[in-house]
Structure 1
């Protein structure tokens, strides 16, 4: 794969990439820890993911500006895997997802990702946002004794059961975090808002509230001041059978979010990414990250956009970002022990609010159509069941509505036989204009017309098929059935103006020869 991402790169661009990398690194540190905690694992695993995935995707990916790492979209499915199988199996699922992504890159699945209906992506994205937001309520209110639950309704019931344990100091820190986010976003948007939203409540906690709120140190024992250690997870055939489905969902979700991120980057910079190479880079990242304890990663839209706005020129900016986070891990990670969990909550709630796609959701929901039904079903299944089922049912439901719509696209109308046709085929001739696709979804509708076509006084049936867009194997079988039916009644079938592509399909299937070349009339032959 030839790399065009460093075309016209100059030495002066290194400084721009360095500044952009440092800026993104400042944003990535709190997000990496927050996403890891929300996924049910230790905060350092989010930093490991940020370092390794960010480096590998920058090196092997298909976009100049993509920044990869842990993202909010993965939180529900990763948490479900951790609760059901454990952290070790999460590493296996992540590695399998990386293999799936590599396969996707080689077989060209990058193009198929664009066929996932928007109602499905908006539905599960909004559902994920609700799960992330509700998952931070316990930290925001400082609730104690709260057990992580796999299902949304169980989480709400657990929160209600432990509501009496709320901590006023945690609420105070959470409010300070929100005020910091809203103030900086409105009055100083260039300042790294998430870092300040983490630092300001932490300072307040250290100076005035020491020991009165739960912190990363008290909850997780702090973050080790060491590099991630290589360890190969124990992979068995039974583990693969258990985890291949959630791994495939991780891969699909990662591919969708990664490619969406590169499209956003293309629109912002007027460049063009290589989708196959991008999935290849994401695949490598997700294979190697679990070997060092990291969680699944994908392209992060917000960090990629920050990278571009900060003046990034090439993938070096993401490499610098990884280096900056690595320095933080080695030099400053002990100080992360003082960060209150209540300070993490506003950050993740803010992320959830931004990713909820509120306006688009409302726009689709307002329209009374199949898309609205798919949106609500995907949204509710994401919240109350899981993301795996939601995506599968959403896509299946979209296909059903699509088929229903396509069935209506097949139109069959009786037309007046022209004088030229009467002269050529005789008075006992009828003609039907067939428009639309003739495939497995519409073949039954087509066959239902046969009985009304086959009459005693009819000797020739002309089918004008100029506007037949496609014929598949089921459609071909329906035409063959009509031919057999007509032959039994000694009726001739004429096919008029069939386009080249479906005509070629009939030739390959052998039906063209069975009908007979003299029964096909092109544009110039018969008007």
Structure 2
């Protein structure tokens, strides 16, 4: 990871257009039209589920999708609103209103741009897999929970946002299920599930919306709630950009939510790009992709939009229909824009239970229950991280889940690292080939007053404490010289240096010499910068164990050592 150098921003659109052809355009045009049709019901459904007007979901897909394709680092990425953001967006609106959502989305965009500018695109991929699976499954269950009211036609208003109270209200209200609404939802669900079995190219969600909406509209006597009933006539005017208030008080309140949006967006977009690269054989510029995602999230709040990220399902639809350049993503945005201008009155007729069925299928696909089942064969620490992240996502919110999940994963990782780092103690004889691949064994005679401590692993804060405890447990022996063998120490942090400094000073006060052996160049540089060479003496830092043992034997002659031990 390099944080210096020129800005790493190379949108794939520019390189694609430099070698573009009419054949590529035909493929991108077909793919873009198909993806636009597939994205339509999802954009509307995600907007409604997030607690905003369905028009907002569509505007987000148009503007955000265009910017992600035009400025991103993946050739086939399709951007827009996704199910992963439903929970966090709904909670932000409930607590801070639409203006709070705009501010949080804007700040998340700035964070994403900063991540890309500082070349942290690859670091995001290191977030532990159990955390990703845990909060994705938690989001899926939460999305499913938000659709029960519309799917069963319970007619509830002011449903609690918290998981447990929400289900308490559902259970107490199941006696008021509307049969017509439930039938519409079940039929929609069946169409969505059966369609891929007949043809992988047919968009099941759109087919369900068209068929069910037509039936409900044409057959008299069927009365179910529609988008128009709930939201009124949807506007077809292009929204005018507007500003929002940004001050330190607002920033402090919304920064955790903005951080969650940014991390979630980065994970989902880079995961989508990685999957796409595996299918197409292309290579995503992860830093450019983050900058492109950030730019989209900076712009959409000014048009009332919700957070944008890469969408795996729509990206794969793009690939399977022949899309290979960002032009397909731009065409998808244009298709949605034309639908927004000319077909919005028809959107008013879509039953809410049909959209609920679409989101229930989305939740099922997000749940990853097969992955969870496989992870139960993993180490208990991974299962713990998954379970904690899942429960916190469901019971509390995604911000707490990600923060606590990361904290738990780091703690368990450090514990695992510490358990695998060895500190060995040698005296009298030392085989310098031990612990290496060398077959030539050379045994060094070590005087009785010399003790050798070998650290096998990084000398960071956790190991520094472990080493300090071991040193204290051997203080009663009072050796003349302590050799600290560091050939297998790849790095040392400030805590390790601090503990080493304390050890050297306490040893010197007790009349014990300290010699360092096998110090790597980067570790030596850290020690020199901290002044350890001046404290210890330059000649007491040796590059090989043989030199260290020779010096130690000279500092602790055999007869003197025997006398001190008598």
CA contact (8 A) 1:417 1:431 kept: no
Which residue of structure 1 aligns with residue 72 of structure 2?
61
2:455 aligns to what SS in structure 1?
A: strand
1:9 has 2:29 as partner: no
Which residue of structure 1 aligns with residue 439 of structure 2?
none
- Distance in 2 of aligned mates of 1:412 and 1:419: 15
Which residue of structure 2 aligns with residue 440 of structure 1?
461
2:223 to 202, 212, 227: 212
Q: Using the TM superposition, give the Cα deviation of residue 368 of structure 1 relative to its aligned residue in structure 2, in angstroms.
A: 4.7
- Distance in 2 of aligned mates of 1:409 and 1:465: 16
1:25 has 2:36 as partner: yes
Q: Using the TM superposition, give the Cα deviation of residue 194 of structure 1 relative to its aligned residue in structure 2, in angstroms.
A: 1.5
1:398 aligns to what SS in structure 2?
A: helix
1:508 has 2:529 as partner: yes
Which residue of structure 1 aligns with residue 104 of structure 2?
93
Q: Using the TM superposition, give the Cα deviation of residue 473 of structure 1 relative to its aligned residue in structure 2, in angstroms.
A: 0.8
CA contact (8 A) 1:27 1:303 kept: yes
- Distance in 2 of aligned mates of 1:59 and 1:221: 34
Gap change, CA 1:209 and 1:63, over 3 Å in 2: farther
1:243 to 245, 254, 275: 254
Q: Matches of residues 393-472 of structure 1 in structure 2 within 5 Å?
A: 393-418=404-429, 426-455=447-476, 458-472=479-493
1:127 to 131, 135, 138: 138
Q: Using the TM superposition, give the Cα deviation of residue 286 of structure 1 relative to its aligned residue in structure 2, in angstroms.
A: 0.9
2:125 aligns to what SS in structure 1?
A: helix
2:202 to 169, 176, 191: 191
Which residue of structure 2 aligns with residue 177 of structure 1?
188
Which residue of structure 1 aligns with residue 47 of structure 2?
36
2:348 aligns to what SS in structure 1?
A: helix
- Distance in 2 of aligned mates of 1:173 and 1:451: 73
1:378 has 2:389 as partner: yes
1:213-263 deviation digits (Å, cap 9, x = unpaired) = 000010111322222222222334432232222122111111111111111
Gap change, CA 1:419 and 1:133, over 3 Å in 2: closer
Which residue of structure 1 aligns with residue 60 of structure 2?
49
- Give TM-score scaled by structure 2 length: 0.89
Which residue of structure 1 aligns with residue 339 of structure 2?
328
Which residue of structure 1 aligns with residue 553 of structure 2?
none
Which residue of structure 1 aligns with residue 436 of structure 2?
none
Q: Using the TM superposition, give the Cα deviation of residue 100 of structure 1 relative to its aligned residue in structure 2, in angstroms.
A: 1.8
Q: Using the TM superposition, give the Cα deviation of residue 503 of structure 1 relative to its aligned residue in structure 2, in angstroms.
A: 2.1
1:179-215 deviation digits (Å, cap 9, x = unpaired) = 1112111121111122112112112211225661000
CA contact (8 A) 2:102 2:306 kept: yes
Which residue of structure 1 aligns with residue 167 of structure 2?
156
1:340 has 2:351 as partner: yes
- Distance in 2 of aligned mates of 1:522 and 1:475: 19
- Distance in 1 of aligned mates of 2:104 and 2:229: 29
- Distance in 1 of aligned mates of 2:430 and 2:99: 78
1:492 has 2:513 as partner: yes
- Distance in 1 of aligned mates of 2:498 and 2:31: 60
Which residue of structure 1 aligns with residue 330 of structure 2?
319
- Distance in 1 of aligned mates of 2:431 and 2:189: 79
Q: Which structure has the greater CA radius of gyration?
A: 2
1:458-505 deviation digits (Å, cap 9, x = unpaired) = 212222222223211111111112211221222222222222322221
1:190 aligns to what SS in structure 2?
A: coil
CA contact (8 A) 1:222 1:336 kept: no
- Distance in 2 of aligned mates of 1:141 and 1:423: 80
1:86 aligns to what SS in structure 2?
A: helix
- Distance in 2 of aligned mates of 1:234 and 1:510: 50
Gap change, CA 1:486 and 1:78, over 3 Å in 2: same
1:275 to 280, 286, 290: 286
Gap change, CA 1:425 and 1:177, over 3 Å in 2: same
- Distance in 1 of aligned mates of 2:319 and 2:177: 41
1:355 has 2:366 as partner: yes
- Bigger drift between 121-130 and 160-169 goes to 160-169
Which residue of structure 1 aligns with residue 119 of structure 2?
108
Which residue of structure 1 aligns with residue 87 of structure 2?
76
1:272-293 deviation digits (Å, cap 9, x = unpaired) = 1111111111111111111112
CA contact (8 A) 2:430 2:446 kept: no
Q: Using the TM superposition, give the Cα deviation of residue 451 of structure 1 relative to its aligned residue in structure 2, in angstroms.
A: 3.2
Instruction: Give the RMSD, CA atoms, in angstroms.
Output: 2.0
- Distance in 1 of aligned mates of 2:444 and 2:124: 53
1:463 aligns to what SS in structure 2?
A: strand
2:371 aligns to what SS in structure 1?
A: helix
1:60-105 deviation digits (Å, cap 9, x = unpaired) = 1111111100000000010111122222322222122212222222
Moved over 6 A (4+): 419-425
1:430 aligns to what SS in structure 2?
A: strand
CA contact (8 A) 2:81 2:307 kept: yes
1:482 has 2:503 as partner: yes
CA contact (8 A) 1:169 1:209 kept: no
Q: Using the TM superposition, give the Cα deviation of residue 457 of structure 1 relative to its aligned residue in structure 2, in angstroms.
A: 5.8
Which residue of structure 2 aligns with residue 201 of structure 1?
212
> How many residue pairs end up in the alignment?
527
- Distance in 2 of aligned mates of 1:305 and 1:79: 27
Q: Which runs of 5+ in 2 are unaligned?
A: 1-8, 433-442, 550-566
1:380-431 deviation digits (Å, cap 9, x = unpaired) = 0000000011111111111111122222233122224348999887442222
